[in-house]
Amino acid sequence: MISVTETTKNPSAAIAPRGLIPLPVSAARALLLVGGIATAASAFLSWTWTSEFPGDLTVTGYPGGLQWLTFTAGVLTALFTIASYGVRGLGWLLPARNNAPLVLLALGGFGTTWYTVIAIATKLDGLANLEPGGWVAAVASLLPVLGALALPEPVGETTKDTLKAYVAKPDRISAPAPTAPWIQRAAITVVSIIGLGVFTYGIDTEYGELFVGYLIVVVFALWAMHTAGLLDRFSHIVAANRSFALAMGFVAAIAFPFTQTDDHYANIGVNILIFGTVALGLNIVVGLAGLLDLGYVAFLGVGAYTAALVSGSEFSKFSGVQFPFWAAAIAGAAASLIFGVLIGAPTLRLRGDYLAIVTLGFGEIFRIAVNNMDGQSGPDITNGPNGIPSIPDLSFFGFNFGNPHDIAGFTLGRFANYYLLMVLIMALVVLVYTRAADSRIGRSWIAIREDETAATAMGINGFRVKLIAFALGASLAGLAGTVSAHVTYSVVPNPYQFAGSTPPNSAFLLAAVVLGGMGTVAGPLLGAALLYLLPEKLVFLQDKSLLAFGIALILLMRFRPEGIIANRRRQLEFHETGQLDVPDTETLSDEPAVTKAGA
């Protein structure tokens, strides 16, 4: 695959193309293949003697629990190794023809297997609890790593660091061969199904160890696909079939509750959607208009309280009033909009840090005010810290959201019903976001973010467009809040604070946007899913979860400041790589521009 040239005279440079471990290339690759297959096979052995370790790893004959993850990683390693031999029909797996994906997949298998083995030993107190199968798995998963590190890796101009070269994406990837539209659509369909499967597996993980192993495999596999250039290829296909990809994503989102037998996981799903919708609303304010809003969760609260007040709950101040959902949703969004304008009008005259401080203050004012409107310290509206409980379930045309329904043989529970409603609202919010971003008003938001003085000199009324961004973001959060009030049965002031250990709170919302990728649609959704699942699944971290979360954020900001999913603009901003999206022929033209002027 990569020819070893002996032209270099520097001895240390001559070693580099041979890999870190001195082995012939054929042996290295054989080690990868054999190791991958052995890793996958070891998942069929018994790893421990007792079923006290969750997932039942005691059975020889078929994998269980964490063994499935080892199996997957082993199969992927073997598959990509075979592709690297240049086997016909598998070439598409490695568009960049590099070794980095092999290294990363081997590391993924190694990571998840060793994590499992160590987790068994620590949980059951001692290595004695490992069956021989566990030892076999540990050794088998080490083989591909040794093989991968023995593979030669070209030291490119941008990747002078040898170790870095092993996990870096090459700068130039050959252009893909044109594919028929039906193949592209089939690819999108398959990826949607795999994506749904992977996501569902993550949500359904029953214990923390399984979730950690899952994260290891998914992170390394995605990283490997990224370095292989597969993700770039796929995003090109998506760009070419935009509406089809959107429809498939929508279908996959709808399909999620039909894959669930336990309504508990649909509950996680609906909460992720609510969190993600609010994060997407915040993305308009932070990602597009560049206004740092630290009190954004208050708008979710305004929407939730408005919906609760008009829900017909007997504890509501207006218990006689019961709006139909569409009216409650509009009322919640409108109330948030009014609050957004009221808060925005005085504060948006400030810039930068001052705006952040003032919004932080307003966010806290909302929570404290709601806490005090109990009839003693203030007007009797919100029942103070008791909140408004027993909010009735929604009902559309006799379709009660509180009862399970049978649809085409699948039973949809209460949360699955709300999940489907949230998918619709999410689709609406995505539509609003993409359309607003790609328009005159969206451009003026970005211009304001880039340089407010220049934007004003170009005729943009800065205050006005910022207020529109603020109000639009607020009303989207309010809309999500109206559903969240019904999902959680009750609204209380406590969750609507600046920082806490569970989402949603303003700090988590902002983190979801920054972590996922500012200015993108998928970024905040992914960030929201991650930030919701991590505290939910890693119960054993308990009060240390904020610490772990903080460390993770710092690491991410160090190594990928543009977020997991990079906006094209941001990627170019943080990495001085020149123009990625423009054909070479145009970037390299150095001749003076032909000016019509003066001709």
The footprint of another protein (CB under 8 A) covers 431-432, 435-436, 439-444, 446-447, 450-451, 453-462, 468, 472, 569-570, 572-573, 578-579, 581-582, 586-587, 589, 592-598
CA distance 524 to 503: 14
The number of C-alpha atoms within 13 Å of 457 and in the hemisphere containing its C-beta is 4
CB closer to another protein out of 161 and 451: 451
Q: What is the DSSP letter of 409?
A: T
CB closer to another protein out of 408 and 597: 597
Q: To the nearest whole angstrom, how small is the minimum distance from the Cβ of residue 449 to another protein?
A: 9
Tokens of 145: 């790593």
CA distance 28 to 7: 23
CA distance 138 to 172: 36
CA distance 561 to 514: 8
Tokens of 370: 């709601």
CA distance 387 to 391: 11
Q: To the nearest whole angstrom, how small is the minimum distance from the Cβ of residue 328 to another protein?
A: 21
CB closer to another protein out of 409 and 598: 598
Q: To the nearest whole angstrom, how small is the minimum distance from the Cβ of residue 568 to another protein?
A: 9
Q: Find out whether 362 and 295 touch, Cβ atoms under 8 Å.
A: yes
CB closer to another protein out of 323 and 445: 445
φ, ψ at 315 (rounded to 5°): -90, -5
CB closer to another protein out of 1 and 431: 431
User: How many Cβ atoms are within 10 Å of 409's Cβ, its own excluded?
Assistant: 6
Q: To the nearest whole angstrom, how small is the minimum distance from the Cβ of residue 289 to another protein?
A: 12
Tokens of 222: 């995605």
Q: Find out whether 299 and 478 touch, Cβ atoms under 8 Å.
A: yes
Q: Which residue has the tokens 């993770």?
A: 552
Give the DSSP per-residue string, 187-250: HHHHHHHHHHHHHHHHHH--SHHHHHHHHHHHHHHHHHHHHHTHHHHHHHHHHHTHHHHHHHHH
CB closer to another protein out of 1 and 580: 580
Q: To the nearest whole angstrom, how small is the minimum distance from the Cβ of residue 105 to another protein?
A: 34
Closest among 200, 223, 207, 225 to 116, alpha carbons compared? 207
Q: To the nearest whole angstrom, how small is the minimum distance from the Cβ of residue 520 to another protein?
A: 14
CB closer to another protein out of 380 and 438: 438
Q: What is the DSSP letter of 166?
A: H
CB closer to another protein out of 468 and 533: 468
Q: To the nearest whole angstrom, how small is the minimum distance from the Cβ of residue 351 to another protein?
A: 15
Q: To the nearest whole angstrom, how small is the minimum distance from the Cβ of residue 235 to another protein?
A: 17
CB closer to another protein out of 435 and 544: 435
Give whole-number Cα distances, 258 to 57, 98, 287, 405, in Å: 28, 39, 34, 12
Q: To the nearest whole angstrom, how small is the minimum distance from the Cβ of residue 530 to another protein?
A: 26
Closest among 15, 267, 360, 293 to 155, alpha carbons compared? 15
- Inter-residue long-range contacts of 342-346, CB under 8 Å, 24+ positions, other chains counted: 343/295, 343/470, 344/466, 344/467, 344/470, 344/471, 344/474, 345/467
CA distance 278 to 267: 17
Rounded to 10 degrees, what is the CA torsion of 34, 13, 579, 511? 60
CA distance 121 to 27: 33
R_g over Cα of the chain: 27
CA distance 499 to 297: 10
Q: To the nearest whole angstrom, how small is the minimum distance from the Cβ of residue 70 to another protein?
A: 43
| The residue type at 20 | L
Q: To the nearest whole angstrom, how small is the minimum distance from the Cβ of residue 171 to another protein?
A: 16
Tokens of 407: 């649809």
Q: To the nearest whole angstrom, how small is the minimum distance from the Cβ of residue 302 to another protein?
A: 20
CB closer to another protein out of 370 and 455: 455
Residue 272 host element (H or E): helix 263-283
CA distance 338 to 72: 51
The number of C-alpha atoms within 13 Å of 24 and in the hemisphere containing its C-beta is 3
CB closer to another protein out of 182 and 326: 326
CA distance 225 to 234: 10
CB closer to another protein out of 331 and 460: 460
CB closer to another protein out of 309 and 460: 460
For the chain, report the end-to-end CA distance as a whole number of angstroms: 53
CA distance 572 to 443: 18
CB closer to another protein out of 134 and 478: 478
Q: To the nearest whole angstrom, how small is the minimum distance from the Cβ of residue 437 to another protein?
A: 9
Q: To the nearest whole angstrom, how small is the minimum distance from the Cβ of residue 426 to another protein?
A: 16
